[in-house]
Amino acid sequence: MFTRQPIAPLEYTRRWSLRAWVALTMFFLYAPLVALMVFSFNDSRRNIVWQGFTTKYYLKVLHNDTLMTALLNSLTIALFATIISLVLGAMAAVMLWRFRFPWKSAIEGTMALPIVVPEICFGVAMLIFFAQIGWPMDLPWPFSLGAITIAHVTFCFPFVTMVVRSRLASFNREQEEAAKDLGASEWQAFRDVLLPHMKPGLVAGALLAFTLSLDDFVITFFTSGPNTITFPVKVYSMVRFSVTPEVNAVSTLLILMTVILTTIALYLQNRMTENSGKGHS
């Protein structure tokens, strides 16, 4: 604003009006989240006026057994859903990228459907499906999470496919052919040539799948039995009727977890793309 240099026509970002617009948008996006995090440390039940710093709501959350069980359930589901989605998604990506086969466009279109079908429709479809096949509801723990995990894999793996496939587009097929000419088997060529190239896509896809699974409420809401409570479902029942400092504390923990995960993934991805860049030159 106070710069001496005149603003060039295309330097829109240096115009104060646009800067103010961006600043307001960012305020709109972040102020509620920041307020929520700050007030999780507020020593007041009514949670309006700042009364002093406390961490007692965090201790309360950590001693809340149902909440902790729900969190453990969610993390377990997310872990398994990510692993299965990663394998299925990568296979589908290689299949679509490498082969021409009958019904290809139909299969490709169907694979994109879980991304666009409204969550509520897929959720109720899963509810009917599991009711129809008589999926047992009283299995012992990790298996009791099976239905939710299956539902999560179904809507996560097409995202992995999408990400990995866009990464595969930049692969130079001659590298694979060279490996095979030098005596590598199909599997060796895949493991030592194609897989390293796919790695950044796999990391991005895994992070996407993990976040999507951890984030999901609607589909879980319809597939969870009476005895399996996941973290979002538990938070939903807490949020539904009241605004309490405990919910603020829980939310802050989850926000921190996502920020840390995203940072790690972005860091890994940057390092890997830099490395692979060096490898090519």
Q: Does 47 sit near another protein (CB under 8 A)?
A: yes
Q: Quick one: which segment of 61-69, 128-136, 174-182, 196-204 binds another protein (CB under 8 A)?
A: 128-136
Angle at 68 between CA 216 and CA 242, to 5 degrees: 70
70 belongs to the binding site for another protein (CB under 8 A): no
> Rounded distance, CA 119 to CA 123, Å?
6
Q: How many angstroms separate the CA atoms of 125 and 107, rounded? A: 20
**Can residue 272 be called a binding residue for another protein (CB under 8 A)?**
no
C-alpha to C-alpha distance for 164 and 51, rounded to whole angstroms: 49
| Using rule CB under 8 A, residue 72 touches another protein | no
Q: Between residue 153 and residue 192, which ones bind another protein under the rule CB under 8 A?
A: 153-154, 157, 161, 186
Does 206 participate in binding another protein (rule CB under 8 A)? no
For residue 4, state whether it binds another protein (rule: CB under 8 A).
no
Closest CA to 200 of 276, 281, 89, 260: 276
Stretches 64-72, 99-107, 174-182, 271-279: which one binds another protein (CB under 8 A)?
A: 99-107
Residue 115 CB, nearest distance to another protein (Å)? Answer: 10
**Nearer residue to another protein within complex by CB, 9 or 183:** 9
Q: Which parts of 213-242 interact with another protein (CB under 8 A)?
A: 214-215, 217-218, 222, 232, 235-236, 239-240
- Closest alpha carbon to 82 in 136, 163, 7: 163
Q: How far is the CB of 54 from another protein (least distance, A)?
A: 17
As measured in angstroms, the least distance from the Cβ of 102 to another protein is 8
Interface residue with another protein, options 35, 59, 72, 264 (CB under 8 A): 35
CB 272: neighbour CB atoms within 10 A?
Answer: 17
Residue 143 carries which DSSP code?
G
Report yes or no: 37 and 248 within 8 Å, Cβ to Cβ: yes
Q: How many whole angstroms separate alpha carbon 95 and alpha carbon 107? A: 11
